[in-house]
Structure 1
Amino acid sequence: MIGIVVVSHSRALAEATVGLARQMLDESTALRIEVAAGLDDGGLGTDATAVAAALGSLADADGVLVLVDLGSAVLSADMALEFVDDDLRSKVRISSAPLVEGLVAAAVTASTGADLATVAAEAGRALAAKAEHLDDEPAPPAVDGAATGPTGPTESVEVRLTDPHGLHARPAAAVARAAAGHDAEVWLTDLGSGRGPVAARSLSAVATLGAGHRALVRVEATGPDAAAAVGEVAAVLTGGATVAETATTSSSGRPAAAGSGLDVALGPAVVVRAGVSLDGYDAGPVETELDRSSSAAVTTSEALAAIGRAGDADTGAVLAAQRLLLEDPSVLDDVVADIRGGTPAPHAWRQRLDAVAAGLEQLPDPYQRERATDVRSVRDRLLRALTGTEEPAAGPGPGVLVVHELDAATAATVDATRTAGIVDVTGGPTGHGAIVARARGIPLLTGAGSAADGLRDGQVVAFDARSGELWVDPDDATRRDVEQRIGRRTTERAAVLERAAEPAVTRGGRRVPVLANVASLAEAEAAAAWADGSGLVRTELLFGGPGRPGVDEQERVLREVVAAFGERPVTVRSWDVGADKPLPFFPRVAEENPALGARGIRMIGTTAEPLLVEQLRAVCRVAASHPLRLMFPMVTTRGEVDDALRLLEDAAAAETGAVPPGLEVGIMIEVPAAALSVAEVARGLDFVSIGTNDLTQYVTAADRGNPAVGHLAAGVSPAVLRLIGQVVDERPDGVEVSVCGDLASRPAVVHDLLRLGVDELSCAPAVVPEVKAAVRACD
């Protein structure tokens, strides 16, 4: 394998650069990188004898690439060659590549076993992508116009994002790692918004792309390894390297919380002040500021790594993404340029990270906007390292921690057993800090606003996150009320978790199955601990990778999902594609209004019909040996149902001779026309399942993804409830009615749904215990 020597005037800069390069490698990679940097007294400079010693330690390598930072480092490296023997000298090459980018590219290439010429060539090309990306003009991270995209022959694929919150920091970090591991330049474009292309190796550029859940993204690459790079990045985007962030349970399905798990708290305030003052910072010469910047970045990265190792996998992944921000070339290069231009290191980092945060805050999706919290968290931790400011106490307890903006690191390090709760003044409910806090069972009130902004240490504070109430210095009566709430909810929480795996039976003796909506095998395995089965398997996400799944592959994966639930029912929804959910491996037809276009069951009679037939064949195979339910989405007319049943019979004839007797068939009610004619469209079927997300959207004529009108589709619409009641009342005899949309995941709405006569509920896996408890409370 090729060895690498880094020659730099600054020891801290060299070690930080090596740390960055190693982040791009697999932990098991035994790549040898030696550092010859700085002077013995700790000052700045290079020493030819130290370079010669570093070369000598790599004498047994197949070749040695030397990377240098400034002009005199080249002289020292040249002189060092005079001190080594001829055999070693013959296999050393001094590269003119830029130190940071060149080392990353060289390290990645050398780790693959490439020869010296290939490693040197890749290091020499390392600056090309950035030069093209920025057109040789330094600029803050941006999305539009930041890159010109690939030139020359490309490999490309279009994929659908499966992460519930889109391309936020964590999957963006996974994309950056995947792209960096190939001899290729990889680019991403959000085809829906038109943003991009952006360089996939840049974490900040990828994160600020703003691609939301189910966004269609083009991955394209140029270079020798373009095909493999496209495949790996596409796999990351379609779910291969991300985990759901909304669940509050561990992978075993049991609660992962260390705190009380309540939503109410009372105690003295422990206030963490926002921001880091730079007023007293004494800036040094440029080289000193560069050293301070590198050292602070390393210190901050190591601190985040330590916190991540101490936490669970989700917390570790969040903090790993934050660490990558410290190593992102599109940020680092701008910081270095600012410092060389005379800006002190803290000011340079603050203005560049503020620019990244500002870019995120301009995105339309509220979840992605809240990723700006992660950037500001890294900023403040780094600024404290630069200025020597102590980290704020993360809730020594007992008390209520009050923070201006809760970040993941603080949420991960707070003592959950001693902290009564956390008040987040400005943060939202989907920030990474909020996610980590909830997963640890810490009571949390987000978006408290000005009422909490002036809190002082020791002031008694109480909150009820369920009602959104906050009390500062509550009187005796209010304290007693809050204490009683804590007592009641402690008892309720224990009872909910204790009975989470039991059947849900109303006070009148009616058993109501509570099932889970799942989109992956991992979700199925987690949900199986509590749920009575699955009322919705989202096949467009289960099989929505870049490659078209065959009948055998679909059968195999469906059997795994079925096995996770044992003998409990599993409901497979046929391809729900079109509009915001096209399949990446099937060409789309442009539609002026895709939400009202060729969606779901409307693929029958189009060139997409063979895809549906293949899926039905796989369903029949599984149903032949295990009871299964199949439902068709986006039904509008009886004719569509008849066409679907004929396709099912044809698929069954090819596989099992006839439709398996254990296969129940139903449809989704998402279109108002279907709800109003359920007696006809559901005739002869076994069940209907009401998808309240789309039904609400179509009833209110409001796109739930559009911030301008999303509020119209976000609440509980009385009109939708009336339609649900009509479906229950007018369904054919023997047809069961389930609700699998968002309303089934809201415990407060459960009573209304059961009162209307709904037979079954299918909800998000994480809320199954609460929904079951809500069923038991109904008379």
Structure 2
Amino acid sequence: MRHSSPNASSEKTFSGIPASPGIAIGPPIFIGRNLLNVEERTLSPEEVPMEIHKFLKAVQKTKEELLMIHNKVQNNIGVEKAKVFEAQLLILEDKIVLDETIRRVKEERKNADWLYFYIMRRLYDLMISGRDGYFRERGIDILDVKRRVIRNFQGKNAAAAPLEQTGIIVSHQMTPSQIVSFNRRVLLGLTSDIGGKTSHVAILARSFEKPAVVGLKKFSEEVKDKDLVIVDGNAGQVILNPAEKTLQEYRRRQEEYRRFLQNLIPLKDQPPTTLDGHEIELSANIEFPEEVASVLSHGARGVGLYRTEYLYLKKVAFPSEEEQFSEYKSVAEKLFPHPVIFRTFDLGGDRLRTDGVRTRENNPFLGWRSIRISLDMPEIFKMQLRAILRASTRGNVRLMFPMVTSIGEIQQVKALLEEAKEELRKERQPFDNKISVGIMIEVPAAAIMAGEFAKEVDFLSIGTNDLIQYTLAVDRGNEKIAALYTGFHPAVLRLIKRTIEDGHRQNVWVGMCGEMASNPLAVPILLGLGLDELSVTLPFLSEIKRTIRSLRFDEVQKLAKKALSFNSAETIQKYVERFLDKHLHRP
């Protein structure tokens, strides 16, 4: 079947969030278009026992399906990807939800699928109502489980995914079981109406190294079977039914990007050194053990940010010390001798389940989160510290604490760390007694106090995602003010400069693990400001290395000094763009 666009009038462009770089051109593959049909019914007293039996039978069938998918994914893709289905099994077997459904069937004499639908929707709405991207993704797990149970209750089979169909996924919202059903060899690209850079679609796309754009709002509603789709994961745009001229232009860009990636391959084993010999550490940001292989294949010198939250999020419960130790140890061993920085749980309190209850917060970004939760739950926190310490025996493990805002917090975490060390000594458990300890600089208070904080730790790592939004009072998830969210704002750059200088005065290493580090346009300024390390997302690592190797350190130092004299983000960005046009492609 030929997919083409006869004229320019039918061409439409949709803007979203670039989730994974690259350009894909192909037909659409629709996911999730079959909606559930659930209607309220009143049962007779005689129907109630049979309704409950039918509901429990549907739950059991769903459990069998999830176990089958789990085993298939574990065998074909890997243990870590399979763990999302362990989380779904926990959601399925949630006693509170099951008991409430059965109780209401008995008391209200309503059909079980209708009651279950609304009980699960209430839980789903709670999960996605906050701004924490990780927990919004857990809402998708709830959605997946809900659909499976209701389809099994109604005796309907879920539509089989086109495992071998070549094309571009078009979805409103993908669930994990839909994602893993695809053959990555025939998958060209992915789109989703909702989601951000931490969504299932985005993570899958980066893992598969496929172009993806998310946050497209109503794009999936516009697409028809015979349409042609272009996904520009570099610019965050999707073109529907491109005119012939547009199609040819994107084919040219696709080939250009392919050659660009091909030219980056020889850089894998080259050091991230400027033309005049200045070297900077180049690490990777990851959150799954399975990503370690990609870290090494892309030529990263370790992991500058390992997000440990997924260990909680995959099962919506705190993992045991042994579970954590096993994963941390595996990652450290595979990366040795390169370092790995484990960041302790960076969770939001509005989505944290304690005693079976979730606490709703009106403003979670300014509430109970990150290190505040850890310090309020010292036994759970110490369990994680013990696990990381036990995994540090090879000497390549570093420990980092998120969202620190005061000296008191640093002193508290160090005291708990010493308690964990003393416990392990008494148990004769080996660990690296000289493990490096650092904090993330994510709020203006921490950047302003960086010099004092540096006296207490071994390294600082700047988290620009939160630093930008706290400094500029811009919610990075709000599309209406997305244009205001920029790392080139002079206030942000001055805080970064201050952090680096104050850290260096205390002979403390200063790195950056936020998204800004993955922006090639920001590299000249960051390099010129004197950062010791950049930790980036894997698809951008080779391009960042190429940028570093194409610049002179003495020139980017002058660039950074000049850029900080400007009073607007627009002026600074244009100045950097002109600089790169002149200097980037030096031999």
Could you tell me the TM-score, scaled by structure 2's length? Answer: 0.61
CA contact (8 A) 2:518 2:537 kept: no
Q: C-alpha distance in 1, partners of 2:380/2:57? A: 50
Aligned to 2:66: 304
The alpha-carbon deviation at position 424 of structure 1 amounts to 1.4
Establish whether residue 352 from structure 1 lines up as the match of residue 119 from structure 2: yes
Q: Which amino acid aligns with 1:691?
A: I
Where do residues 438-477 of structure 1 align in structure 2 (5 Å cutoff)?
438-477=206-245
Please list the CA deviations of residues 315-374 of structure 1 after superposition, one character each: whole Å capped at 9, or x if unmatched.
Answer: 321123223333222222233334444323432332222222123233452321232222
Distance 1:303 1:609 in 2: 43
Which consecutive residues of structure 1, in runs of 5 or more, have no partner in the other structure? Answer: 1-247, 249-260, 549-553, 589-593, 636-667
Cα–Cα, structure 1 residues 359 and 763, in superposed 2: closer, same or farther, change >3 Å?
same
Choose between structure 1 and 2 for higher RCO, CA contacts under 8 A separated by at least 6 residues.
2
Partner of 2:490 in structure 1?
718
Q: Provide the secondary structure at the position in 1 that maps to 2:27.
A: strand
Q: Which runs of 5+ in 2 are unaligned?
A: 1-18, 312-317, 347-369, 382-402, 552-583
Q: 1:237-274 CA deviation, whole Å, 9 max, x = no partner?
A: xxxxxxxxxxx9xxxxxxxxxxxx75432212233414
1:183-212 Cα distance to aligned partner (Å, 9 max, x none)? xxxxxxxxxxxxxxxxxxxxxxxxxxxxxx
How far 1:412 moved relative to its partner? Answer: 0.6
1:571, distance to aligned residue in structure 2 (A): 8.2
The answer to whether residue 407 in structure 2 is matched with residue 598 in structure 1 is: yes
SS in structure 2 at match of 1:266: strand
8 Å contact kept, 2:170–2:191:
yes
Q: Which of the numbers 174, 189, 204 marks the counterpart of 1:421? A: 189
1:515 pairs, out of 280, 283, 299, with 283
Distance 2:146 2:59 in 1: 10
SS at match of 2:86: helix
- The separation in 2 between residues aligned to 1:571 and 1:339, in whole angstroms, is 50
In structure 1, the partner of 2:36 is 276
Amino acid at match of 1:351: Y
* 1:730 Cα deviation from its structure 2 partner: 8.9
The letter for the 2-side match of 1:415 is N
Matches within 5 A, 1:516-665: 516=284, 530-533=299-302, 566=336, 579=372, 581-582=374-375, 584-585=377-378, 596-599=405-408, 630=436
Q: Is the 8 A contact 2:465 2:514 kept in 1?
A: no
Aligned partner of 2:548 in structure 1 is 775
| Equivalent residue in structure 1 for 2:98, among 332, 342, 346 | 332
Q: Which deviates the most, 333-342 or 730-739?
A: 730-739
The Cα of 1:603 is off from its aligned counterpart by 5.7
SS of equivalent to 1:582: helix
SS of residue in 1 equivalent to 2:25: strand
Q: Which amino acid aligns with 2:123?
A: V
Aligned partner letter, 2:141: D
Match status 1:503 vs 2:503: no
What corresponds to 1:321 in structure 2? 87
1:724 to 1:374, Cα distance in 2 relative to 1, 3 A = closer
Aligned position for 1:105: none
Deviation at 1:455, TM superposition (A): 1.5
Identity of aligned residues (%): 22
Alpha-carbon contact 2:29-2:169 (below 8 Å) kept: yes
Q: Which structure has more helix as a fraction of its residues? A: 2
| Contact 1:514 1:532 survives alignment (8 Å) | yes
SS in 2 for 1:479: helix
Among 504, 512, 515, the alignment partner of 1:740 is 512
Kept in 2, the 8 Å contact 1:292–1:386? The answer is yes
Q: Which amino acid aligns with 2:231?
A: F
**Paired amino acid for 1:470:** V
For the residues of structure 2 that align with 1:751 and 1:356, how far apart are their CA atoms? Answer: 46
Pair 1:431-2:199 in alignment = yes
Number of residue pairs matched by the alignment: 464
- Indicate conservation of the 8 Å contact 1:744/1:761, yes or no: no
Tell me, yes or no, if the aligned pair for 1:264 and 1:462 is still in contact at 8 Å.
yes
One of 256, 264, 268 as aligned partner of 2:23:
264
User: How many Å separate the matches in 2 of 1:560 and 1:344?
Assistant: 48
Shift of 1:401: 2.3
Give 1:151-190 correspondences, 5 Å limit. Answer: none
SS of 1:505 mapped into structure 2: coil
Whichever residue aligns with residue 493 of structure 2, its letter is L
Which piece of structure 1 moves more, 414-423 or 490-499? 490-499
Q: What is the Cα deviation at residue 494 of structure 1?
A: 4.9
Shift in CA distance, 670/516, structure 1 to aligned 2, threshold 3 Å: farther
Q: Is the 8 Å Cα contact of residues 686 and 734 (structure 1) preserved in structure 2?
A: no
* Distance 1:401-1:331 versus aligned 2 partners, 3 A rule: same
Q: Tell me, what secondary structure is at the counterpart of 1:421? A: strand
Question: Would you say the 8 A contact 1:374–1:432 is kept in 2?
Answer: no
Do the aligned residues in 1 keep the contact of 2:61 with 2:152 (CA within 8 Å)?
yes
Question: Are the aligned partners of 1:401 and 1:423 in contact in 2 as well (CA < 8 Å)?
Answer: yes
Which residue does the alignment assign to 2:562?
A: none
Distance 1:448 1:547 in 2: 38
> Which residue does the alignment assign to 1:696?
467
Which residue pairs with 2:533 in the alignment? 760
Give the 3 Å change call, closer, same or farther, for CA 518–669 of structure 1 in structure 2. farther
Aligned-residue CA RMSD (Å): 5.6
Deviation, 1:761, is 2.4
Cα distance in 2 for residues equivalent to 1:587 and 1:409:
31
Secondary structure at the residue paired with 2:178? helix
In the aligned structure 2, how far is the partner of 1:563 from the partner of 1:373?
A: 33
Question: AA paired with 1:267?
Answer: G
Say which SS state the counterpart of residue 37 (structure 2) adopts. Answer: coil
Residues 595, 474 of structure 1: alpha-carbon distance in 2 compared, 3 angstrom cutoff? same
Offset of residue 524 of structure 1: 8.1
Residue type of the partner of 1:598? I
**CA separation in 1, counterparts of 2:104 and 2:474?**
43
Cα distance in 2 for partners of 1:412, 1:674 equals 45
